[in-house]
Amino acid sequence: MTTINGLTTLIGRILLSAIFIFSGWGKIVDIAETSATIGRSGLPEALAWPVAFFELIGGLFILAGVFTRATAILFAGFCLITALMFHTNFAEPVQLVMFLKNVAIAGGFLVLASDPANPYSMDHFWAGKAQTELDVPPGTASTSEG
């Protein structure tokens, strides 16, 4: 992967994660409003905490590049479900925009899932470390025993 590809993927991860980190934190800070909003949609209000933590922790995972492929796929599904559950009242023009925004973000996550371990991610760091350990032939590892 070229440096420019790694940097653009990093910038993309930062931009994709920001909305979820801030949104998750906002849901935690005002969990009563989050519960009420979820309840008004016909879903159990008890989903407020799991959704808030998913957004916050998942956003941090995307930012750091931790379990990127799995997290990106989960977020893509989350965005599509959210679009269908909360933004289908197209009589309100803003809801069409919100629906399309969620679909576009889902697309961004699917692109991210296609190449998760770029050089500026924890996934890449862990994969490199694991690869280095695998490259050591059996019986040649140094030991501290003398």
d(CA 7, CA 130): 23
Q: Is 10 a residue whose pLDDT tops 70?
A: yes
Nearest Cα to Cα of residue 112 among 70, 81, 69, 79: 69
Q: How far apart are CA 113 and CA 135, in angstroms?
A: 27
**Closest by Cα among 136, 137, 135, 117 to 127:** 117
**Looking at residue 90, what DSSP letter applies?**
T
CB hemisphere CA count around 74 (13 angstroms)? 15
pLDDT single digits (tens) 50-104: 999 999 999 999 999 999 999 999 999 999 999 999 999 999 999 999 999 999 9
Q: What share of the chain has pLDDT > 70, as a percent?
A: 86
Give which of 65, 61, 74, 70 is closest to 105, Cα–Cα.
74
- Phi first, then psi: give them for residue 143, nearest 5 degrees: -125, 160
pTM of the model: 0.83
pLDDT, the chain, mean:
89
